[in-house]
Chain A
Amino acid sequence: MYEQFWRLSFIVFAAALPLSAAHAIIRQARRRTGGAHDPAWLVWFRRLANLVIAAGFAALTATIIARWNEAGYPPFSNMPESLMWMAWGLCAVYFVARCFVDFSGLEAGACVGVLAVLAVSGLFDHAPRPLMPALQSNWLIFHVLTCMISYGAFFAAFLMALLWLAFWRRRESGKVVDALSYHTMAFGFLLLTVGIISGSVWARQAWGRYWGWDPKETWSLITWFVYGIYLHYRLLGGSRGPRQERLPMLNALFAVLGFAVTLFTYFGVSYLLPSLHSYS
């Protein structure tokens, strides 16, 4: 069932993408010609796109449950499994963000993000492998879940940055984009903190030390510092800090830089640097 649900998730999100993209294009075209309010049919069109995305989210959840059931262990132990959680986290962050803001293209961005994660996941071997002794711990679920949802949030902020750079920069209010992007990265930062700390407590239980400067640990700390610098830089006021109108650009730059570092922590360390985390 896992493979069927995985394929179904991909198909549903692939169906949601043209709907969402069409909605964004129509809405933008109407805005450009002076249509400030959406007509009822466009609102319903958007609801339909969101319904399909919700169906995709349900399919992703079913994929996770099927995997858990078939593998016989909590599915948090290798690349395709963690990517599954990242896609799920990204989609969850989208739904939360969607409650607070109203931007054209947000749905399309979420679909592109989930499809990209699923496509990358397709490159890996999905065969379940038994958990090695170090991973047989209750900390596995908590550690991977918090890390992957934080990665999902950083990916969402990255997609928002791209959308802002490409479309929203000139057309929609910079302040709201700024707030949304800031909250997404702040949420990711909190979860990354919890993820690193839970990994640290787990490492103490498994290996006797809470920190060992293993490349994965070190790069997660570097990621934490990058977002930490961003959150502090926003605090700088007056002439020394960023001017209010430049904040959205600052957000976009850090969202891109932060996500690049996140990607290296996630993939680069596993494949380029020798690490105790080489299984993930």
Chain B
Amino acid sequence: MSTPAEQAEPKAASPLSRALKLLRSVRFAIVLMALIAAACIVGTLVKQEPYDPAKAIAHYGRALGLLVGLLGLHQLYHTWWFIALLGLFALSTTVCALSRRRLRLHTVGSSVVHLSVLFIVAGAIVRGAVGVEGVVTITEGQTVEEFDTDQGKLPLGLRVRLDDFRVTRRADKAEVIVFLPGEERGRVYPAAVGKPVTIRPDGTTLEVLQYLPHFMMDGSRVYSASDEPVNPAIQVKLSGPGGESKRWLFARFPDVHSRGASENDPILRYQQPVRTFESHLTVLDPSGAELRRAVVLVNSPLRVGRYTLYQLSYDQQTEQSSTLEVVYDPGVPIVFIGFLLMPLGIAYVFYIQPILRRRTVGHV
């Protein structure tokens, strides 16, 4: 039974009801999805960086370069119109989910999917409104109590000390990367001593002559000061139609000797793949009392007060300072509810609803 108000709806459709009708229409949803997808494509083609008119005009031409600045295509995902499109999409899915007058078991799936979009967008809005994101770089032995954000420095609430920073490498999986002239992508060869490999169609071979874990030089004498991988280095020999040449390559200093004497020589880099890099931290309260010790790795963050610290990067030259990402995002639980509802809803629509519908039809 419909109410009198609903019966009157077709005769005098108010702007609100017309807007709601538009928002819940499938056609409108399709147009929105197509627009968002098209905007996303543009966003991946235009480099996302701060706008520099001269650079943009030089790169895209005058008209396109100005258009990039005018529409904010250089930071497309943060422009008002793109956020409005996403907001409209969330509104449309919500109206669609709530517009069913009666929830039935064999139709509830699509409402769940549509509501999940609302959760995801709502969580993102919370992040945008009250979330904080920044970085902090700490050197071994140093204690920090604030971090850098786009809006300047913010206090961490607690103090964090970097006791030790460790990088572990896979010496057994060391490799030489060969960049042939004119090629941007290097080819990877295992850095195994005494096993020459052909690196060019003209028969040029690359051979690792010796490996020194702790390279040292005393006058013209080269030796390893210890068996620890303090300064891993290899000596390589290139043999080809043009003759022979030898170079020392260093894992810690990849640019040293990477280029040969001639432009035609390949660029060589020696690397021992990083297994892990980890920050050994101590968390202290503002008075300096030790609260806890913890290790932060990629994929293993640490909660410090309201913030979470993520292992971001490190100083590759000294390997003694660590850069951590500092994040406060209370929107995450809301987003994750959406993440849970969406696949459950889709699976329900495709695989449970047809069974329920068949049963309902069977009863009729």
Query: A residues near B, CB below 8 A?
Result: 125, 127, 129-130, 132-134, 136-137, 183, 186-187, 189-190, 193-194, 197, 200-201, 204-211, 213, 215, 218-219, 221-222, 225-226, 228-229, 232-233, 235-236, 240, 269, 273
Contacts and interface: CB of A to CB of B under 8 A. Distances in A.
B79 interface: no
A191 B132 CA distance: 32
10 contacts: A130-B173, A133-B298, A137-B299, A200-B339, A204-B332, A207-B325, A209-B133, A218-B43, A225-B36, A225-B37
Contacts of B175: 129
B360 to A, nearest CB: 19
Q: Which of B173, B276, B329, B350 has the most CB of A within 10 A?
A: B350
B88 interface: no
Contact of A186 (B36, B299, B308, B350): B350
A204 B335 CA distance: 11
Contacts of A221: 37, 40
B190 interface: yes
B327 interface: yes
Given A201-B339, A232-B30, A190 B350 contact: yes
Interface in B196-235: none
Interface string B326-364: 010100100110010011001100100000000000000
A277 to B, nearest CB: 12
Q: Sorted from nearest, which 4 A-B pairs have the closest CB atoms? A: A208-B310, A225-B37, A133-B298, A208-B327
B190 A136 contact: no
Contacts of B347: 190
B277 A130 contact: no
Contacts of A201: 336, 339
Interface residues of B, number: 46
B350 A187 contact: yes
B27 A133 contact: no
B30 A273 contact: no
B84 interface: no
B343 A197 contact: yes
B122 interface: no
B158 interface: no
